[in-house]
A = this chain, B = another copy of it.
Amino acid sequence: MTGSQDNIRLAISLRDGSLEKSVLFSLSQITSLPQDVTSVPRSSDLMTDAELQLTEDYDATALLEMLAAKKITAAELLSAFRKRATIAQQCTNCLTELLPEAIYDAEACDQHLAMTGRLMGPLHGIPLSLKNQIGVKSHLTNAGFVTWINNTSKDDAAIVKTFRKLGAVVFARTNQPQAGMHLETSNNIYGTTVNPRNRQLTAGGSTGGEAALMGMNASVLGIGGDIGGSIRQPAAHNGLYGFVPSPDRFSGIGVTVPTPGHDSIAGTLGPFARSLRDIELFCKAYSSTLPWIEDVSLIPGSIFSSSMGRQLDETRPLKVGLLLDDGVVSPLPPVRAVLQKVADKLRQAIDVQVTTFSPMDHAKGWEIIAANYFEDGGANIRAICEKGGEAVLPLTEWIINECQKGRKSVASSPEGLKEARDAYRQAYSDHWNQFDVDVVLAPIYPSVAGPHGATRYWGYTSIWNLLQYPAVAMPAAKLVGGVSTAELRGEYTPKNDLEKHYWEIYSAEDAEGLPIGIQVVGKRYHERMVLQASKTIEKALLAK
C-alpha cells in the first residue's frame, strides 16, 4: 500500500527530525560503525568529557544529589542525554523520537529550584525514556503497527503524568516490535533495533529500544512493559537492572496495546535502571503519588508496603532457592558459568542460605501461558497488520502459532484455558511453599543475546508472568566479574530440538563480554521481599 509507505516515511522523518542536530553522523561515520558501538559516543568526539561523564558515571540517585546540590543543571543533564540518545539511535536504531518539550521541562526544573530553593519533586530533572506504546500527549503512538502511525495520543499516559509531576524529564520514546510480542525488537516501521555490544545480535525485546538506549548509557531511567519477559530479557541482554512487579501496580491508562480486553494474562509496566536503589527510587516516588486514586484497577497500597505478604526475618539468613535449569532448555555454557559463580558467591555469604529450587513442569507452564496470550487466537493482531497493509513478521507468526499449539493441548474452551491457568498457579504455589525459600534466583534467558530473528524460548521469564510473581533482573555477569573464554566454550549436549536450535545459533566468540542476567523472584505481591533480597544478593555477588 502506498499510503502505508507514506506513513512509514512520515514516522521515520518525525523521528529523525526530533534528534539532536549537533551529533548527527556523516555518511562515512555511519558506514564505518564498528560491530560493538558502546564506545562510539566517546570515540566519535561529538560529546564533551563532561557530557560523557554525566551520561556514563552515575545512576539516577547520584544525579539527583548533584542536581539538588546545584552541581549540575537539569538542562545540561538533558542536553548530554539528548546527544547521547541521538548517537545511540544512529548506532542501534533504538528510538522512535526525542521529545522537544523535555527541553522546557528541564528548564522549568532549573527555574523552580533557582526561585524556590526546592526540588520540583523526588525525581527533579532526571531524564526518563519510555517504550513507544506509552502515550505522550499530542504525540503519535504506533506501538509497532503501521496502521497506527497516525494515532495521536490525546493525553499523557497516566504514568507519564505521574512522573512529570514527580519532576522527571520525559525525553525519549523507544522502539518496540510488531504486536509487542517478540523478545526482540523489529517492526515494519522503524526496522530492527540492534544490540549495542554487537550489532549482529538482538537487543532483546519487546522493550528492546529502551534497553539498547540504556545499554548505550543514553538514558538513566526508563519504563518498559512485560507480559512474558519484555523488561527482564532485554535488561539481561544489555547489562541492566529491570523490575517487573505483580500486575495492578503501575497504571496502564494511556498505554496502547493490540489486545484490549484480553486479561487472561496480565502485563505490567516497570522500570529499567542502573542500580537497585534507582528501582527503589522509581517505585517509591510512584507510590507516593497514590496512583490508585485515579486508576481504580490498581492495588491501593504502596508497592513496597510492609503490610503486603510475608516479611523477611532479618535475624536469620536470606533463604535463596537456586533454579539452575528449567528442564525445558538447559542454559548454555556462559549462563551456566555465571550461575555457578553466583552460587559460589552466595554460598560464601554469611547472610544467605542457598538451596536448590526444582522447577514444576515449566513446559506445561509455557503451553498454558502461550495458549492464554491471545484470547481470540491472534485474530486481532492479524487484522491490525492487514489493516496497515503490513506483513505479519515471522516472530509474530511464531508466537501466534505457539498460542494455537497451546490451545490444542491445554483446553478447547476459553473457560477451560483459564481453569488450567488457575490450577497451574495454585499447584505452583503449593510447590513453591514446599521449599521454604524467601526468593528464587533463576536465569532470565538460556543464552546470551542471539542473532536477529532466532528467539524461540520465553520460558525462563514467562513462567513468572503466568504466576504473577514479581522479579528483579540484575546484570549478573558484570556483578561476578564475567566469565572466561574456557567457560564460554563449555560442553553442551542438546537433548531436544529447542536446545539444538540454541546451540546452533550460539557462538562462543560472539558471547565474549556479552551481558548475562539473573532474576530474583518472589511470590505474588511480594515486591518488598524481592527488592530487599536483591540487595542482599547483590552485596554477596560483589564481595571480594
Q: Which residues of B are found within 8 Å of A394, using beta-carbon distances?
A: none
A524 close to chain B: CB less than 8 A: yes
Which residue of the partner chain B has the closest CB to A468? B296
Are A415 and B300 in touch, CB under 8 angstroms? no
Query: From residue A315, how far is it (CB to closest CB) to chain B in Å?
Result: 19
Q: Give chain B residues whose Cβ lies under 8 Å from the Cβ of A524.
A: 296, 300
Q: Is the CB of A525 within 8 A of B300?
A: yes
With an 8 A cutoff between CB atoms, is A117 at the interface? no
Query: Which residue from chain B places its CB closest to the CB of A415 in the assembled complex?
Result: B261
CB of A413 closer than 8 Å to a CB of B? yes
Q: Report A472-525 residues with CB < 8 Å from chain B CB.
A: 523-525
> Given A301-B308, A309-B300, is A260 in contact with B433 using a C-beta cutoff of 8 Å?
no
Does chain B have a CB within 8 A of A426? yes
A293-310 Cβ-contact flags toward B at 8 Å (1 or 0): 111110111100111111
Instruction: From A178-186, A271-279, A400-408, A417-425, give the one contacting chain B.
Output: A417-425
Cβ–Cβ contact A260 & B307, under 8 A = no
In the complex, chain B residues whose CB is within 8 Å of the CB of A523: 296, 300
9 closest Cβ contacts across the A-B interface?
A: A261-B415, A296-B429, A307-B307, A261-B419, A300-B309, A261-B418, A305-B307, A301-B308, A300-B525
Q: How many copies altogether?
A: 2
Chain B residues with CB under 8 A of A259: 415
Can you list 11 A-B contacts with CB-CB less than 8 angstroms, sorted by A residue number? A261-B422, A263-B418, A290-B310, A295-B426, A296-B426, A297-B422, A297-B425, A297-B426, A300-B525, A301-B525, A376-B415
A88 to chain B, nearest CB (A): 36
Given A300-B310, A301-B309, A307-B305, residue A433 in contact with residue B293 (CB < 8 A): yes
Smallest Cβ distance from A227 to chain B, in angstroms?
15
Complex Cα distance, B260 from A523, in Å, reads 24
CA distance A416 to B290 in the complex (A): 29
| Residue of A292, A416, A419 with highest tally of chain B CB at under 10 A | A292
CB distance from A426 to the nearest CB of B (A): 6
User: Does A526 make an interface contact (CB < 8 A)?
Assistant: yes
The secondary-structure label for the interface of chain A is loop
Task: List the B residue with the shortest CB-CB distance to A525.
Answer: B300
Is B293 touching A310 in the complex (CB atoms < 8 A)?
A: yes
The distance from the CB of A213 to the nearest CB of chain B, in whole angstroms, is 31
Nearest opposing residue in chain B for A292, CB measure: B309
Give A308's nearest chain B residue, CB to CB.
B301
Contact between chains at B307 and A302 (CB < 8 Å): yes
State the Cβ distance, A220 to closest chain B Cβ, in Å: 31
In this complex, the member of A261, A306, A429 whose beta carbon has the largest number of chain B beta carbons within 10 angstroms is A261
| Interface members, chain A 226-268 (any B CB < 8 Å) | 253, 259-263
> What is the CA–CA distance of A295 and B426 in the complex, to the nearest angstrom?
7
Q: Is A121 interfacial (CB 8 A cutoff)?
A: no
Quick one: closest B residue to A433, CB to CB? B293
Contact of A307 among B253, B293, B308 (CB under 8 A): B308
In the assembled complex, A100 has its CB within 8 A of some CB on chain B? no
Nearest B residue to A376 by beta-carbon distance?
B415
Q: Which of A411-446 contact B (CB under 8 A)?
A: 413-419, 422, 425-426, 428-429, 433
Give A242 Cβ to nearest chain B Cβ, in Å.
Answer: 23
A319 vs chain B, min Cβ distance (A): 15
- Determine the residue in chain B with the shortest Cβ distance to A469: B296
Complex CA–CA separation, A261 to B418 (angstroms):
5
Taking CB atoms, residues of chain B closer than 8 Å to A305 are 301, 307
Give min CB distance, A312 to chain B, whole Å.
14
- Chain B residues within an 8 Å CB radius of A261: 413-419, 422
Which residues from B are CB-within-8-Å of A306? 307
